[in-house]
Structure 1
Amino acid sequence: MKKISLLILTVMVCFFMLSGRKTTLVYQANTIPKEVELWYTTHFYKFQDEVNTLADLANKSTSVNDYDALRTQIKKTRLIYKNIEFIFDYYQTPYNGTYINGAPLPKISEYFEADQVIAPCGLQALDEAVFEVESIENLNHIKDLVTGLKTRVDFITKTHLPIQLKSSQIIECIRSGMVRIFTLGVTGYDTPGSVNGIEESLQSMKSMEQAFMFFEHGMYAEAKPKFKQIKRLFKSGQKMLNGQTNFNDLNRLVFLKEVVNPLYSELLEFQNENNIKLEPYKKHAQDYQAKNIFNINFLKSNFFSELVYLPLDNPKTIALGELLFKDPQLSNKNIMSCLTCHNPEKAFTDGLPKSRSNRAGVFTSRNSPTILNAGYSTRYFLDMRAFDLEKQVMHVVDNDLEFNTDFKTIVRKLNSNSEYVNMFKAAYGDISKVYINERSVSNALAAYVNSLKSFNSAFDQYVRNESDEYPEDAKRGFNLFMGKAACGSCHFAPMFNGTIPPFYLDSESEVLGITQGFDSINPKLDTDLGRMNNGLSGDHQPYYKNSFKTVTIRNIALTAPYMHNGSFETLEEVLEFYNLGGGAGMGLEVENQTLPDTPLDLSKQDIKDIIAFMETLTDVSEYVN
């Protein structure tokens, strides 16, 4: 009788446990998203109300005496926007970046007004404009910006709401929101005029915590410790941000190690422990399974090469590409290979101001950038003329100063080599009967270049908690790089290149006013037109004159000389150039310089510290014998 009673009790316990788990799953799938949808919608309408208030105020403004009131209302409007940005940007990334809170620069969007220049607009443009010269002309410009913002917000409110969420998407929004805070918030990228990035980041964290709290009543018992830990991390981050009254004082390295990376990891663990089904809304470059934004798998390089002949992670094509990379047969008269300009010991650069050509004593027009981590980009070459790594190969092949040949000749040479024939057949035989062709050669080289990754520097090991040792001057340098020196607002973590977080869907170029050599007394502007002259009709715009791709600073200690023209010999010269405000800050007429022309006021010690940090990003041991 006791055995029967025990069996009945066990069955009942199992039934209630299973019933409870089923109820939790249903709550997570249905109730939580609905609650967050209502919360989000309420805050979105509050944002719209603040924009309307701003529009009314702007329309009534008639003199420079109205600037203070406008600054106050713009600040308030931006803070309210920070309540919804982490969700809005996830679902409306192109619209947000083009019209609501994108960089205050002209742009051509593939999504809106194709082939037409879209003037700077949105909240960042307002944040910048309201701190510029207090004049009636600028006041009218602010009014135009506000009118445009109101029009766009009214439109998107009608089309964007009501919104439908999934539980995993809410968590993904929060995780990406933490990336945004670290890369765009506390770096000052988001607040070019007010430098109010710390307060806005604090507001974002508070809002994301509020959204996360809706999971409190819909989780498994074993996830409760994780829930409490995430709450503690949110509070810790808010305390850290709330304690800063000066933009330059935040210890961004501690914030990364103790708040950003732990939250990014714990949120994923919480999702897994609650068996929340992964249902992403959008494709982006982040690898959802990554637990640290400085892990090698944080970004998927294959995301940037989806339309290639064969996926670039194929071991057969990578091995084949490595052989081709070193083979001078790819060039006319067999006199140069990819190694000519990309030496592994120099982080795959050549150490020259401008790369050597196929003619003795003649050089190309630009410096050879590193190709380590080159795959993490949407555009290639310093003038950004190629859209993927395969096309980059094609440009080198037919360049009269580089390989100066054609694929027909290359294919004929490779077909005469039995080893190549066998390797191409093994890699591409299932795609085409003619397995040595223009696409397969380009694809193999692209696969090898895409495999060249560098994520195990002293800095990476430290922020991944794999090492406790890290130099004090480099710690100071990192905080300067991501704060006062504003380097991190163009060289975005974790690649420290120009691919824009938090979703890494586009790559930037900048107009810096690069000079012909570093001469602060009698500077001369470099004459290379850059992106404006790359042959693409969409890029032939005045604001791309002298604009060049923002390349990675990883392994920068090995890649001297610097800049597109190789005219800066040392990192000290590079930092002093930025410290002076670029070409415009040195007194040159630079059209549309994107680098602020005001001095950074970096001390000599500051510059030494920043260089110390950058030197800890060196990692080429895998490629050097």
Structure 2
Amino acid sequence: MKLRSVVLSILMLVSFTTQAKDPLRDVQQLGKFLFQDKNLSLNRNQSCASCHSLQPAGGNDLASKVVPGFVDPDNVKNGTAISKGSITSATGTLNTPSVGYAAHSPSFHWNKNAGLFVGGQFWNGRAKDLSEQAQKPLLNPLEMAMPSEQAVVDRIKEDKRYKELFREAYGINLDVIKADKVFNLATKAIGEFEKTSVFNKFTSKFDYVLAGKTTLTAIEEKGLELFNGKGNCAACHTSEATRNKNGQLMLPLFTDFTYDNIGLPRNVKIPNNPEPDLGLGGRSDIAAKDPEGNEIGKHKVMTLRNIALTPPYGHNGVLETLEQVVHFYNSRDTLGAVRDNTDPRFGKSGWPQPEIPQNVNSSELGNLGLSSEEEKAIVAFLKTLTDDYQLWGLDSRVPPDSPPPFLLSP
């Protein structure tokens, strides 16, 4: 795919997100308040934002100091794979995914033409949409740990500010609405907040390049060429424009929202070394439709937007850096073997066996034949997918007061 042809094809693209400087609607303001409310957890110490921070996680480079990745900042800082729950001793077993651009994932469904499951939220797609995704952590004993929907609503009613926020958002009297409806409206509001440009900016260097505002460096240009060609990354992390359910053209999201087993090794550094998660095939509803186990070990293909801000990587967080990710995709089948990811030779002279040997993708990765310089080029390109380029790029062609490069309408 030639970059110039991409520019010409998407100059008029639109999406359902709002302009970065647009005020939030009432329901989105309610969602923002709920998203950050630690009182909605059992011990009043966890919120959605605890694991999906709205603040930059910090790091050695400027981008990580000014751009949020919407993941757990402790995981980014410490290289840990899982997040702590409201109860001190409780932790999950999977790497916390970013909620950036999650709003663009279609509802979970079977694509008959492709013969694949597509969309949904979480690593296994068990939540069909953003509202359902917001519900589950509130009631999960390993996360926010609230015992019931009623308990969540009781906490909401403790704060007098919510009475006005719910009235402005939905035109309802919080005191006379049944708990189940309040709970559903609350999680719907969180989902509406996640649809805003807070999480969906489309202001990466790549976007400004597509708009003709700046250019890729030679190594970034080479990385894009490899991404779409020899590296085969675009097979799942699509870099071309698509259409949403309303038929609108969309900027590239760098995912096809499908599920795959890329053969990741087990992460034995996770506390208590839990059994590997079976992913999509571990869901009882999917297993009932899949007696042959063809979905076992498959996890969702996540967007690569802001990928440089969200280490560690993979559903189990076994890969620590972007360089390691690209090297794994390139050499999984050729590097050699080591016992596990505590071995100092991990990723240098060998990889452990896949944690789930069933359904490993053996045709699109594992033996790409990339040189070390080509791996570096792909990493350089991936770093162009970080938002707020106008703030961290130090590019005179894209000064700090530059607007989003594309017109985005609600």
User: What TM-score results when the alignment is normalised by the length of structure 2?
Assistant: 0.70
2:133 alignment partner in structure 1: 392
Asked if 1:462 is matched to 2:209, the reply is yes
C-alpha distance in 2, partners of 1:578/1:363?
29
Paired residue for 1:529, among 265, 278, 283?
278
1:462-491 Cα shifts (integer Å, max 9, x gaps): 111122x43211111111111110101101
After TM superposition, give the deviation of residue 588 of structure 1 in Å: 4.2
- For the residues of structure 1 that align with 2:135 and 2:390, how far apart are their CA atoms? 27
User: Do residues 566 (structure 1) and 313 (structure 2) align?
Assistant: no
Q: Amino acid of the residue matched to residue 465 of structure 1?
A: G
Separation in structure 2 between the aligned mates of residue 372 and residue 339 of structure 1, nearest angstrom: 12
Residues 384 and 301 (structure 1 numbering): CA distance in 2 closer, same or farther, change over 3 Å?
farther
Q: How does 1:95-134 map to 2 (within 5 A)?
A: none
The residue number in structure 2 matching 1:138 is none
Contact 1:480 1:610 in 2 (8 A): yes
Partner of 2:386: 618
Question: Are residues 264 and 464 of structure 1, via their aligned partners in 2, closer, same or farther at CA, if it must alter by over 3 Å?
Answer: closer
CA distance in 1, matches of 2:295, 2:335: 16
CA contact 2:203–2:389 (8 Å) conserved in 1: no
- What CA distance in whole angstroms lies between the structure 2 residues aligned with 1:525 and 1:563? 16
* Cα separation, 2, equivalents of 1:470 and 1:409: 52
Q: Does 1:434 align with 2:183?
A: no
Secondary structure of 1:466's counterpart equals coil
> Counterpart in 1 of 2:266?
516
Partner of 1:160: none
1:417-460: per-residue Cα shift (whole Å, max 9, x none)? 22110010111126996287011111111111122113101111
1:299-341 deviation digits (Å, cap 9, x = unpaired): 4469xxxxxxxxxx97111111111111111111212111211
Q: Are 2:371 and 1:603 aligned?
A: yes
- Tell me which residue corresponds to 1:121: none
Aligned position for 2:161: 419
In structure 2, the CA distance between the partners of 1:334 and 1:540, relative to structure 1 (3 Å rule), is: farther
The structure with the largest alpha-carbon Rg is 1
Pairing 1:333–2:48 present:
no
The Cα shift of 1:358 comes to: 2.2
Aligned match of 2:239: 493
d(CA) in 2 for partners of 1:516 and 1:387? 27
Is the 8 Å Cα contact of residues 514 and 583 (structure 1) preserved in structure 2? no
What aligned pairs does 1:31-180 form with structure 2 within 5 A after superposition?
none
Give yes or no for contact 1:514–1:526 (8 Å, CA) kept in 2.
Answer: no
**1:363 paired residue among 91, 94, 97:** 91
1: CA distance, partners of 2:331 / 2:274: 15
**Match in the other structure for 2:124:** 383
Deviations 1:240-296 (A, max 9, x none): xxxxxxxxxxxx3xx232x2442555xxxxxxxxxxxxxxxxxxxxxxxxx14xxxx
Instruction: Determine the C-alpha separation between the residues in 1 that align with 2:216 and 2:28.
Output: 34
SS of the counterpart of 2:299?
strand
Q: Deviations over 1:2-26 (max 9, x none)?
A: xxxxxxxxxxxxxxxxxxxxxxxxx
* 4+ residue segments displaced more than 4 Å: 430-433, 501-506, 581-589, 620-624
**Distance in 2 of aligned mates of 1:355 and 1:480:** 34
Query: Which blocks of at least 5 consecutive residues in structure 2 are unaligned?
Result: 58-68, 107-119, 337-350, 393-410
* Alpha-carbon contact 1:513-1:525 (below 8 Å) kept: no
Q: Does residue 363 of structure 2 align to residue 592 of structure 1?
A: no
Partner AA of 1:442 in structure 2? T
CA shift in 2, pair 1:466/1:575, >3 Å: same
TM-fit CA distance, 1:528: 1.7
1:526-558, CA deviations, whole angstroms, 9 ceiling, x for partnerless residues?
722111113424676311111000001111111
Q: What is the aligned length? A: 322
Letter of the 2:177 partner, please give it. V
Structure (1 or 2) with the greater helix fraction: 1
What are the superposed Cα offsets for residues 15-74 of structure 1, whole Å, 9 maximum, x if unpaired? xxxxxxxxxxxxxxxxxxxxxxxxxxxxxxxxxxxxxxxxxxxxxxxxxxxxxxxxxxxx
Indicate the residue corresponding to 1:475 in structure 2: 221
Q: Supply the AA of the counterpart residue of 2:381.
A: F
Q: Which amino acid counterpart does residue 167 of structure 2 have in structure 1? A: K
Aligned counterpart in structure 1 of residue 150 of structure 2, from 408, 423, 446 = 408
Q: Assess if the C-alpha contact under 8 Å between 2:259 and 2:299 holds in 1.
A: yes
